[in-house]
């Protein structure tokens, strides 16, 4: 199960997609009520819509740092060690990204799409997370299933 060019593409794409998010979430975790946290999470000098919006963002930051980030990092290590468990963990990280970002793609569209426009919305604002998650899940399942690329 040696890494292939597809493996490298998915790992680099994952790092490019997830690194800014995890940095923003770390800021939110360290200083949840700061102006910087609000600006980085919401942007454009907007405020939290309500307490639920703030709590969801904070909860997602905790969940990502406690579950998704460790799965991604461990998965990447395992993939580059050519271990099947690496592909399983890498695929699990993709599954989490796909799952939560499909929910966000639908629930946040009313707020994010009008202010960011279609290009940003369907790319970085949840598009890349959905596309990367789906590609990683499928690729990992195929690799664990014995398909060679």
- pLDDT per residue over 49-69, tens digit each? 899 989 999 999 999 999 999
CA 20 from chain center: how many Å? 10
Q: For residue 135, is pLDDT > 80?
A: yes
- Helical spans, DSSP H, in 34-68: 35-41, 51-63
Q: In the chain, what are the helix, strand and coil shares in percent, each to the nearest 5?
A: 80, 0, 20
* Distance set, CA 53 to CA 33, 38, 95, 114 (Å): 13, 11, 23, 18
Q: How confident is the model at residue 108 (pLDDT cuts 50, 70, 90)?
A: confident
- Token pair of 17, please? 């997609």
Q: What is the pLDDT of residues 74-97, one digit of tens each?
A: 999 999 999 999 999 999 999 999
Q: How far apart are CA 77 and CA 83, in angstroms?
A: 9
For residues 127 and 63, what is the distance between their CA atoms, to the nearest angstrom? Answer: 20
Residues in the chain: 149
């Amino acid at each position: 199960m040696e890494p292939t060019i597809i493996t490298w593409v998915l790992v680099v794409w994952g790092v490019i997609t997830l690194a800014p998010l995890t940095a923003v979430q770390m800021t939110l975790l360290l200083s949840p009520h700061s102006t910087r946290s609000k600006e980085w999470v919401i942007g454009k000098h907007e405020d939290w819509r309500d307490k639920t919006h703030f709590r969801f963002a904070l909860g997602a930051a905790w969940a990502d740092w406690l579950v998704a980030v460790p799965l991604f990092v461990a998965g990447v290590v395992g993939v580059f060690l050519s271990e099947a468990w690496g592909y399983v963990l890498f695929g699990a990280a993709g599954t989490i990204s796909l799952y939560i970002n499909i929910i966000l793609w639908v629930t946040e569209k009313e707020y994010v799409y009008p202010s960011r426009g279609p290009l940003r919305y369907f790319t970085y604002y949840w598009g890349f997370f959905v596309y990367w998650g789906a590609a990683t899940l499928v690729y990992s399942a195929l690799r664990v299933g014995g398909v060679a690329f």
